[in-house]
Structure 1
Amino acid sequence: MVARALSTSGSSGTPRVCPSRPAGQGDAGRPRLAWSNGSVTEQQATRAGVGLRSERGPVLLAVMLSTGLVAIDSTILATAVPALVADLGGFSQFPWLFSAYLLAQAVTTPIFGKLADVLGRRTVMLVGIGSFVLGSVLCGLAWSMPALIAFRAVQGIGAGAVQPMGMTIIGDIYTVAERARVQGYVASVWAASSVVGPTLGGIFVDFLDWRWVFFVNIPLGGLAAWVLVRRFTERTRPTSHRIDWPGAALLTVAASLLILGLLSGGVEWAWTSPTSLLVLGAGTVAALAFVLVERRAAEPVLPGWVFGRRVLNGAHLSSLAVGALLIGLTSYIPVYAQGVLGTSALVAGFALAAMTLGWPLAAANAGRLYLRLGFRDTGLIGAVLALAGTASMLPLGLHSSVWHVAAGCFGVGVGLGLIAAPTLIAAQSTVGWEERGVVTGAVMFARSMGSALGLAVFGAVVNARVGTQLGGHGGGEAALPAELLSPAVHDVLVVSTGVAVLLLAAVLVVPRRVRTAEDAST
C-alpha cells in the first residue's frame, strides 16, 4: 500500500495516513481499508496493486468521483449561461458566477490543506463534498442572479477542499512510482469531463431545465461520500493542536481583497480609482499582517518553510504561470474564434476543448516520463511544448483556420499536462504525511492566484488596445468588429507567449535531483 515515504519523522501525535492490514470485513465480506499511524514495506505496496479492483481501488474511486464534481462543474455551466440569464436576468452580473467560485476556492484551498494535516484527510474531504453538494442544491433553487452568485461561492468553498484533498490522499496511499500509473486514472476524469460536461449541459438545457446542471452533482457527491465513509478510515492518535484561526482569517481577508481587486480592476472600476486603491491597499495590509502573525503562530496555516525550499518554490512558480496561461487562453480563444473567425459557439468550444483534452492525455502519461527522466526534465519538455503552442498561434489573423487554433491549443494543453502533475508530485514527495496537505494546498493556491493575476493582466492588455483603437472611449469585446478585435487577441497571445517563457524559467527552479521522503527513509 504506502511505502516508506509515509514513515518519515514528525510529531508523534500527528495522524499519518498509512495503511494497516484490513481491519475487518465489510457487509458483503469485502475488506474495509483502514489507515493508521505506522508504515508498511514497499513489497506490500506492490502486492496491493494500483487499479480500481485493487485493495486501494475504492479509495481511488472515491477520489475520482470527488474530482468529477469539480471537473464536470468547470465545463457544464458555460452551456447553461444563456438559459439561466434568460430566466433570472442579470446579464451584466453573470461573469461573477465564475469569479465568485474562483475567489471562494482560492482563499479556502490553503486553509483546508492545513486542516487536513491536523484533522485528517477524510474529514476535510467530506466537509468539501458536503459544501459542494449544498451549494449545488442552493444554486438549483436560486431565485435571482445575486442569489445564484452567492451560492456559487458555497460551491467554491467545497471545491477548495475537494480538489487538493484528492491529490493529497493519492500522495498518501501511493508511492511516487505508483502515482505515475494512478495519475492516468485521475487525468481520465478531466478528459471525460471535457466531453461529458458540455454534452450534459446541452441536454439539460434543451430537454429539462438549466437547474439540472447543478442538481446533477447531488447523486455524484452522495456516491463519493458514501464510498469514502465505507472504505476509507483514518486512525489517529489523540493529540492537541492549536489551529491558527487568526492566520486563517487574515489569509482569507487578504486573498479575498487582492483577488477581488485583480478581478474587478479595469472592469468594475478603473485601476486608479479610489475603490481599486482601497481594495488592493487593504489586501496588501492584510497580507503583511498575515506574514507577521504566521511568524509567531505555533502551527501556521502557511509555514515559512513552504517558501524556503527550492523544489517547493519551483512548484509554486510553475503553478502560478500555469494558472495565468490557462485563464488567458480559455478567456480569449473563444472570443477570437467567434468574433474574428465568425465560428459558432460550438466550433469555438471545440477549438478550446483541444487544450482541455490535451492536458489530461499528457498528464496520464507524464508518470512514465518523470520515472525515466525526472520531474524537472519532464516539466521542461512540457514548458517547451507550451511555448511552442502559444508561439504557433502568434500568426493568427482575420483569415486563419480554426484548425490552426485547435492545434495550438492542443500543444499548450499537452505542455501544461506535463508540468502540472510532475511539479505537484515532486513537491508532495519531499514531505511526509504531516506536511503534505499544506504543501498541496499551497501549490494549488498559487495556481488560483495565477488565474486571478492573469485575468487582470490580459484584461488590461485588451482594454489598452481597444481604448487606443477607439480613441480612448473603450468598448466591450462583443461590440468590436473583427478588424479591431483581432489585434487585441494578438496582444493576448504575445503576452501568453511571454508567460510561457516565464513558465520555462519557473520549471528550471526545480532541482534536477529531487530527494524524496522515500529516499530519506531508506
Structure 2
Amino acid sequence: MTKQRKLIVTIALFIATFMSAIEGTIVTTAMPTIISSLDGLSVMNWVFSIYLLMSAIMTPIYGKLADLKGRKIIFIIGILFFIIGSSLCGLSQSMEFLIFSRAIQGIGAGSILPLSLTIIADLYTAEERANIMGLNNAAWGIASIIAPLLGGMIVQYLNWHWIFLINVPIGIIVIGMVFFGLKENRNNFNSVGKLDIKGAALLMIFLLLFLYAFQLFGDQGFKAPVFLLLIISVIILLLFIRIEKVTENPIISPKLFNSKSVLIINCVTLCVSGFLTGIDVYTPMWLQTLNGSSATLSGLALAPMSIFWMVGSFLAGKLLSRLEVKKILLIGSSLLFVSTIIYSIYPISTPYFVFCIIGVLLGIGFGMSITTSAVAIQESVETKLVGSATSLNTLFRTLGQSIMVAIYGTVLNMSMNSEMTKYPQIHQEDLNRFMNVQEVHNVPTGILQSLRSIMYNGLHHIFITSVVIMLLSLVFLLLWKAKNTNKNEKNEK
C-alpha cells in the first residue's frame, strides 16, 4: 500500500474514533435532559447498557469475520449499522424506541474499536504502533473537548435528538475514505477457512445471558432470576471453551485462554474500563445537579482528562521499550486509584476546578493503562492471532463497561431510594426535574436542599464503589509474576 493510501486509511480510523468519542461524551452530557424529556430515570441504565451489550456481543464476531472476509468490507458494514442506529436514535420519541435504536447503534459500534486497532496492526510495525495509538487517542481527546461544547449547545439551543444525528455525516465520510483508501488482497482472507458457527452462537448466547443478568441485577438486585442466568451462562461458557479447543478455526483461540499475561492484562482492562464509565457518566451528573453547572460546562470538565489521556498514551509508548508491561500498568492503575480515592471524599460543595485538576491524573492514568494493554496484547501472541487477541481485549473493555453500568446503576438507585425515605414530601417527578438544568427552576425551593442531599448520597457511593474496582486492578497486577511481554510469550501455557 502506498504512503498516501496508508495516510488516508489512518485518518479514516482517527475520524471513526472521533465519532465514537463524540457519541460517548455527548450522550453522557445530555442524559439528564433526555431523562427529563422522556421521563425515563428508572430505565436510564438501559440507554447505556443495551448499547454496550450489543457492542460486546458483536465485537468477537466482527474480529473473526474480518479475518475471513477482510477488514475493509466488515468495517464498512459496521459503520453502516452505526449510522442507521444513530438516525433512529435521533428520531426517538419514547425511551423504549431510544433503547431499541441504541441496540442497533451498538451492533455497529462493535466493529469500530477492534477493527481500527487490527487495521493499525496491519499497517504499522510494533515500534510505530504505540505512537499511532497515541495519535488515535489524540483524535479521541479532540473529540472529547469538542463534544461537551457541541452537546451542551445542542441541548440548550436546539434539541437533544441532534446529538445522535451528528454521527450520520461523520460516518459517511469514514466509509468513503476506507472504501477508496484501503486496498486488500482478498486471497489472504479466503484461505483462512469457514466461520465457526457453533462457537459464534455459543459465545453470543453466553454474552447475552451474562450481561443481561447484570442488567437485571441493576434493575432488581440479586434475585433468583439473576442467579439462574449467571449459572446458565457459566455452563455455556465452559461448553464454548470445550468446543473451541477441538474446532479447526475457533472464534477465540484456546491459546489466548492459556496465556497468563493475556488473562491478567484483560482483567486489568476490564477494571479500568469499568471505572472510566463511572467517570464519564457521573461527573457531568454531579456538576449539573450539585454544582448547578450547565450541560456545556459540565461536559467540558472532562476535557482535561481527554487532553492528558494523549500525554499518558505517548508516555506509555516511550516506556514500552524501557520498562516491563507490568510496571507501566502499575503506574497507570496507581494514578487512577489515587484519583478515585480523591473523588470518593469530595464534599457536596466541591468546586468545579477541582474536577478539572483531578482530570489530569485520570487522563494520564487512563492513557497509560489502555494504550499499554492494547499494544501488550498484540505483542504477546503470534502474528496470526493478533486480530483475535485485539478483539478479545476490546471485548473485555466492553464487558467492564457493561458490568459496571449495571453495578453503578444499582448502587445509585439503592442509595437514592434509601435516602428518599427520609423525605416523604419528595416524589420521583421532583427528582426528574431536579436532574434537568432546564427544569430545575420549576422545583419548589423548599425541597432543593433535600434533593441535593439525596443526589450527593447516591453519587458518593458511586465513587466509593470505584475505589474497590481500582483496588482490584492493583491486586491483579501485584499477583502477576510477569515475564517480558513479547512474541516469545506466544508459547506460554
TM-score w.r.t. length of structure 2: 0.84
In 2, Cα distance between equivalents of 1:464 and 1:391? 21
Checking the alignment, whether the CA contact within 8 Å between 2:274 and 2:402 is kept in structure 1 is: yes
Checking the alignment, whether the CA contact within 8 Å between 1:386 and 1:411 is kept in structure 2 is: yes
Report deviation, 1:322: 0.8
In 1, Cα distance between equivalents of 2:413 and 2:154? 35
Q: Does the alignment pair 1:254 with 2:206?
A: yes
In 1, Cα distance between equivalents of 2:339 and 2:281? 16
2:377 aligned to 390, 414, 427, which one? Answer: 427
Report deviation, 1:519: 11
Checking the alignment, whether the CA contact within 8 Å between 1:64 and 1:186 is kept in structure 2 is: yes
Checking the alignment, whether the CA contact within 8 Å between 1:302 and 1:442 is kept in structure 2 is: yes
Secondary structure at 1:233's aligned position in 2? coil
In 1, Cα distance between equivalents of 2:159 and 2:349? 38
Distance 1:387 1:84, change over 3 A: closer
- Counterpart of 2:50 in structure 1 is 100
**Does 218-227 or 79-88 show the bigger shift?**
79-88
1:250-294 Cα shifts (integer Å, max 9, x gaps): 211221222122123142x2421x443444344334333323332
In 2, Cα distance between equivalents of 1:393 and 1:141? 36
1:73-125 Cα shifts (integer Å, max 9, x gaps): 11223455566667766564454222221111111112212222222222221
Checking the alignment, whether the CA contact within 8 Å between 1:58 and 1:231 is kept in structure 2 is: yes
1:516 aligned to 482, 487, 490, which one? Answer: 487
- Counterpart of 1:456 in structure 2 is 406
Distance 1:93 1:445, change over 3 A: same
Distance 1:223 1:338, change over 3 A: closer
Letter in 2 for 1:248: A
In 2, Cα distance between equivalents of 1:487 and 1:222? 43
Distance 1:133 1:341, change over 3 A: closer
Letter in 2 for 1:58: I
In 2, Cα distance between equivalents of 1:206 and 1:335? 16
Distance 1:510 1:158, change over 3 A: farther
- Counterpart of 1:3 in structure 2 is none
1:328-358 Cα shifts (integer Å, max 9, x gaps): 3333333443444454444433334433443
In 2, Cα distance between equivalents of 1:408 and 1:132? 33
Tell me the C-alpha RMSD between the 2 structures: 3.1
Secondary structure at 2:177's aligned position in 1? helix
In 2, Cα distance between equivalents of 1:472 and 1:292? 52
Letter in 2 for 1:145: M
Q: Does the alignment pair 1:505 with 2:491?
A: no
**Does 155-164 or 307-316 show the bigger shift?**
307-316
In 1, Cα distance between equivalents of 2:197 and 2:34? 38
Checking the alignment, whether the CA contact within 8 Å between 1:382 and 1:416 is kept in structure 2 is: yes
In 2, Cα distance between equivalents of 1:390 and 1:219? 37
Letter in 2 for 1:454: M
Q: Does the alignment pair 1:65 with 2:15?
A: yes
- Counterpart of 1:155 in structure 2 is 105
Report deviation, 1:58: 1.4
1:385-427 Cα shifts (integer Å, max 9, x gaps): 1122122334312333332233223312221110111111011
Report deviation, 1:227: 1.6
1:200 aligned to 111, 127, 150, which one? Answer: 150
Checking the alignment, whether the CA contact within 8 Å between 1:135 and 1:154 is kept in structure 2 is: yes
- Counterpart of 1:231 in structure 2 is 181
Distance 1:462 1:222, change over 3 A: closer
Checking the alignment, whether the CA contact within 8 Å between 1:322 and 1:503 is kept in structure 2 is: yes
TM-score w.r.t. length of structure 1: 0.80
Percent identity over the alignment? 29
Distance 1:393 1:206, change over 3 A: closer
In 1, Cα distance between equivalents of 2:95 and 2:417? 30
Checking the alignment, whether the CA contact within 8 Å between 1:66 and 1:224 is kept in structure 2 is: yes
Checking the alignment, whether the CA contact within 8 Å between 1:375 and 1:422 is kept in structure 2 is: yes
In 1, Cα distance between equivalents of 2:21 and 2:413? 31
Q: How many residues align?
A: 468
Secondary structure at 2:252's aligned position in 1? coil
Within 5 Å, give how 1:384-423 maps onto structure 2: 384-423=334-373
Distance 1:490 1:198, change over 3 A: closer
Q: Which has the higher helix share?
A: 2
Secondary structure at 2:248's aligned position in 1? coil
Q: Does the alignment pair 1:115 with 2:71?
A: no
In 1, Cα distance between equivalents of 2:147 and 2:467? 29
Checking the alignment, whether the CA contact within 8 Å between 1:388 and 1:412 is kept in structure 2 is: no
Report deviation, 1:498: 2.7
Secondary structure at 2:183's aligned position in 1? strand
In 2, Cα distance between equivalents of 1:466 and 1:518? 48
Letter in 1 for 2:222: W
Checking the alignment, whether the CA contact within 8 Å between 1:183 and 1:363 is kept in structure 2 is: yes
In 2, Cα distance between equivalents of 1:205 and 1:392? 30
In 2, Cα distance between equivalents of 1:386 and 1:380? 10
In 1, Cα distance between equivalents of 2:31 and 2:302? 17
Report deviation, 1:473: 11
Secondary structure at 2:322's aligned position in 1? helix
Q: Does the alignment pair 1:310 with 2:260?
A: yes
Checking the alignment, whether the CA contact within 8 Å between 1:387 and 1:412 is kept in structure 2 is: no
Distance 1:425 1:104, change over 3 A: same
- Counterpart of 2:444 in structure 1 is none
Checking the alignment, whether the CA contact within 8 Å between 1:180 and 1:371 is kept in structure 2 is: no
Checking the alignment, whether the CA contact within 8 Å between 1:167 and 1:440 is kept in structure 2 is: yes
Distance 1:382 1:372, change over 3 A: same
Secondary structure at 2:482's aligned position in 1? coil
Structure 1 unaligned residues grouped into runs of 5+: 1-21, 23-32, 34-47, 49-53
Q: Does the alignment pair 1:359 with 2:309?
A: yes
Distance 1:358 1:446, change over 3 A: same
Checking the alignment, whether the CA contact within 8 Å between 2:78 and 2:108 is kept in structure 1 is: yes
In 2, Cα distance between equivalents of 1:518 and 1:244? 26
Report deviation, 1:208: 4.9
Within 5 Å, give how 1:146-185 maps onto structure 2: 146-185=96-135
In 2, Cα distance between equivalents of 1:423 and 1:510? 16
Checking the alignment, whether the CA contact within 8 Å between 2:264 and 2:476 is kept in structure 1 is: yes
Secondary structure at 2:243's aligned position in 1? helix
- Counterpart of 1:263 in structure 2 is 215
Letter in 2 for 1:386: L
Letter in 1 for 2:373: T
Structure 2 unaligned residues grouped into runs of 5+: 435-449
In 1, Cα distance between equivalents of 2:341 and 2:40? 38
In 2, Cα distance between equivalents of 1:82 and 1:467? 18
In 2, Cα distance between equivalents of 1:455 and 1:133? 24
- Counterpart of 1:337 in structure 2 is 287
Report deviation, 1:319: 0.7
